[in-house]
Each structure stands twice: as C-alpha cells, then as structure tokens.
Structure 1
Amino acid sequence: METTLKVVQGHEIWVLPEGGHAHEGHETRCRIFYGHAMHPDGVADLARLSAWAMAPGGERLSLKVEPGDDKFHVAAFTPPNDGFWPVTVENDVGTIAITRDGFYRRGTRRDYPDAREVGYYHQYAKTYVQVGHFCATCAGVVHPLEIIRLGHDLELVMAPGIYRVGDEVILEVLYRGRPVPGTEVKATWSLREEEDWGLSATTDDAGRVKFVLGHPGHWLFYTRRADETLGREGEYDRRVYSATLSIYGVR
C-alpha cells in the first residue's frame, strides 16, 4: 500500500523543532514527520504540505517546506524577536476511496461509485518554538495575552511554556472554533518503545482534557473528527480531519 494512503487507518503528521530553543535573528528549523504515534513511516507528499508560523504579536509568516531525508521534511524561518512561536503544518491529502474489495485508492465517488466509503482527508500539526533563553515566569519576554487559537478546522489548543516531567497539561479540542465535548484525545512520548498511543482520555463538557507528563522525551497529542455533513455528492461522503500538537523535550 502507498504509505500516504495510510491516513485512512490513522497515520498523521507531526512537527517538532530541531532544538530546545532558537535565537532571535537566526534560522530555526522544524522537522515534519509522517507515521503513527511518533513512529515515522515514510514521508508525507511534499506537494500537499504547507506551513506557517505566528509571531508573538499575531503576524503570520509563511514557511517553505523542503525535503529533509527519508524520515522527515523541513520548514525553516528566522524569528525577529523572542517569545513562543506557534508553527503549524497542513497536509491536504485529498480524496481516498475504500473500494468494495477493501483496497485504498486515490479518487472520488465518481471514480469508485461502488466504494464502501470515500473521504476527503486534511491534517493539521502544531508545535511551539521557544525563541530566546528564558523561563516561563521571567520578565522581558513577549508572551501571548491568551492561549493562541490558530483557526484550524480541527485544533488542539494548549498554553505554550516550558514543561517538566510530572506537570499536568490541559488541552482543548476545537472544531470550527467551538469546543468539542466527548471526543477522544490520544497521547504518547518519544521514548516509548511500543508503536501505538500510550494514553487516551475523553474531553469534558467544555471540550477539555488533562494529561500528566509522566515520562521524559518529546510528547505528541492527537485527535480526529469525521463530518458527514460536509460531504459533496459525486465527490466524497465526508471530510475527515486530524490534529496533532507536540511538546519538545520534557525533562
């Protein structure tokens, strides 16, 4: 099976900075991975990826995505000031059909009229890049006045910061700007050997969920949502969104 078709089964993209912090006026690079639960499996289709960063003041900076190696692509930018910079990547996968005999094929409902289902897949990945040497409570750093929401169709939202083992994090799931109660959020960490998600929790009535960062390493959170109300006759039955959020270097 073509690796990029595994989005149907749950493969996703995620993005991580190459280092624990970046420096004002110097290029910083983020790696874009594709696979499952922090285990890379090939790379995403470069032509379907786009990326941008948001300055602490709210300005958006478009990023060029370039090949890295056989396990990741790279998006780079040069931050002009200190602070926490959200970096987001989108993977516009497009339509995939599950044929009557169970194969995955690129195409629409017109191409495969007897398919079991046809979905349009779109993925979001987000991380925060720490620019500058500082602690979360130090003065002189430009912090967002509130938790940053980037306006993705499906988004995992969390306060930026420097996290340590044992910290509790609160994530909010938003779909088209509204909290989503009763949805599953999965989590794992980079030093986990098993090739699946290590934790799972369900959002409360406010669309929020809590996790304890109980292990060192990079952390990744994931959620997914299918919306059949957005299907298009002759094209696809539903839109399927996924969203990831990563934390670099929990110690």
Structure 2
Amino acid sequence: MLKVVQGHEIWVLPEGSHGHEGHETRCRIFYGHAMRPDGLADPARLAAWVLLPGGAKLSLKVEAGDDRFHLVAFTPDRDGFWPVTVENDVGPVAVTADGFYRRGTRKDYPGAREVGYYYQYAKTYVQVGHFCAACGPVVQPPEITSLAHDLELILTPGAYRVGDEVILEVLYRGRPLPGTEVKATWSLREEDDWGLSAKTDDAGRVKFILSNPGHWLFYTRVADETLGREGEYDKKVYSATLSLFGVR
C-alpha cells in the first residue's frame, strides 16, 4: 500500500458491459499502476458507494474477490447509468531520511524527507439496460456527473466507441483545475506505463481520442501543501481515476 508514494492507485471496473434491472451487478476494485494490478488495497481503508436515483448514497460492502481485486455489488431498480465510487483513505506516509516508505506522521519520523497524507478516489459508471448507441444520448440527471469528490474527473457517461473524442474536466474541491496533468491508458496496451498524457486548459478541461479498443482508465493527482498539518504531515495528496468499460 505504501507504493502510493510512487504512483500506485485504485480503480473500479464493472464485471460486464451492462447490468439488468432487479439483478445483482458487481464491480471489481483493483490496485496497481496504469491498469496493471499489483497486490490489493487494504480493505479496512476502502469505502464504496453507489449513487441512487434522487441523489442518495448507498454504502456498498467491500468483499474479497481473488488475489487481484476486491468486489462490491448492488441491485439496480431501473435502467440508466449508475455511478459507483470507491475511496481509499491511505493516511499519512513518510519518506524517511534513508529513503524508505513508512506509515506514520512527522511525529513518528521527525527527520523524514517528506510526509504526505494520501487519499484516493475511483469512479466508474455501470450501464443498466440496453442502449442503442446510434439512437442518441441517454438523458441523465446532472447529479450523476459530478459526485463532489475532493478531486474528480468529470465525463458525461455514455456508450463510447473507438475513435470518439472525450472531454474530461478536472475539479478540485469543486472548482476547475487548470494546468494539471491527466494520464490515460487502455487494457489491451502492451506497455506497462500510461499511454497518453495531456494537461488541462484554463477551464480545467482536457481532450483524448479513444484510439484503441478495451477498457480505458484516466488518472490525475494533486499534492496540496496548504492542507498540511504541523507536526503531522506536509501536504495532502489526492488522486482520482475514472474508468470506461469495453470501448470497441
């Protein structure tokens, strides 16, 4: 879990292309780098929820999957896109004077090179029901697009295809974040690192072309020294991921 300092993150992905009204729908929670699983996140530090129609949050139990992922499940009661969020409260991590990563505050490691408090968000949209991609967009209530995370990647949910252009907006504490890096990759990419990278414009937006088939993952990260606490940690480090299932 201490690999968060180097850039490990969580992401969440539906188990299938779509779910069905009245039937259990499951999502997998992964931990690793650039869509390559590397161990498991600590389930004691994970919290998951789905946004219900009307804006209420339904807490989801995080359960064991296999040695690559955890699971969450819910039963939707209508068609549409259902946003699922997973939060990972990693807590304070110190980089000691000799370069080791240790869980703890500056009180525990007064000579540390740096101490950050790490908090991660992962988001996906579960499609419930069958949609015709050529029949026009599915109308969704605006509250499912932005979920009021401290750091969030905003993308209108939809049935995306290879070659589509997507416009993402980065919000930090509710405001657009210009000049921040957003990375992207896809599940069928052979290389291990991120495949694409771009910076947000003055409005906090960035464009990508979905150039390849597969699941897509977008990632951004912010370190905010203004949120440090004296004697505890120097900064808060937020990361956010957003996944798209099965672009084809």
User: Would you say same fold, with TM above 0.5?
Assistant: yes
1:1-251 to structure 2, matched below 5 A, reads 4-136=1-133, 138=135, 143-145=140-142, 148-251=145-248
Specify whether residues 141 and 199 from structure 1 end up closer, same or farther in structure 2 by C-alpha distance, changes over 3 A only.
closer
Kept in 2, the 8 Å contact 1:13–1:34? The answer is: yes
TM-score of the pair, normalised by structure 2? 0.97
Kept in 2, the 8 Å contact 1:97–1:117? The answer is: yes
Kept in 2, the 8 Å contact 1:21–1:130? The answer is: yes
Specify whether residues 66 and 228 from structure 1 end up closer, same or farther in structure 2 by C-alpha distance, changes over 3 A only.
same
| Structure 1 counterpart SS, 2:61 | strand
CA shift for structure 1 position 146:
6.7
Number of equivalent positions: 248
Could you tell me how far apart the structure 2 residues matched to 1:131 and 1:195 are? Answer: 31
Kept in 1, the 8 Å contact 2:82–2:144? The answer is: no
TM-score of the pair, normalised by structure 1? 0.96
Identity of aligned residues (%): 81
**Alignment RMSD (CA, Å):** 1.5
Describe the superposition over 1:17-71 as per-residue Cα deviations: whole angstroms up to 9, x where unpaired: 0000000111000000000000000000000000001124322211111110110
| Structure 1 counterpart SS, 2:130 | coil
Could you tell me how far apart the structure 2 residues matched to 1:15 and 1:137 are? Answer: 27
CA shift for structure 1 position 145:
4.2
Describe the superposition over 1:143-194 as per-residue Cα deviations: whole angstroms up to 9, x where unpaired: 2247611000000000000000000000000000000000000000000011
Could you tell me how far apart the structure 2 residues matched to 1:142 and 1:23 are? Answer: 18
| Structure 2 counterpart SS, 1:47 | helix
CA shift for structure 1 position 195:
0.7
What residue identity is the alignment partner of 2:212? H
Could you tell me how far apart the structure 2 residues matched to 1:145 and 1:114 are? Answer: 47
Specify whether residues 171 and 25 from structure 1 end up closer, same or farther in structure 2 by C-alpha distance, changes over 3 A only.
same
Describe the superposition over 1:94-121 as per-residue Cα deviations: whole angstroms up to 9, x where unpaired: 0100000000000100000000000000
| Structure 2 unaligned spans of 5+ | none
Specify whether residues 99 and 179 from structure 1 end up closer, same or farther in structure 2 by C-alpha distance, changes over 3 A only.
same
| Structure 1 unaligned spans of 5+ | none
Could you tell me how far apart the structure 2 residues matched to 1:214 and 1:13 are? Answer: 23
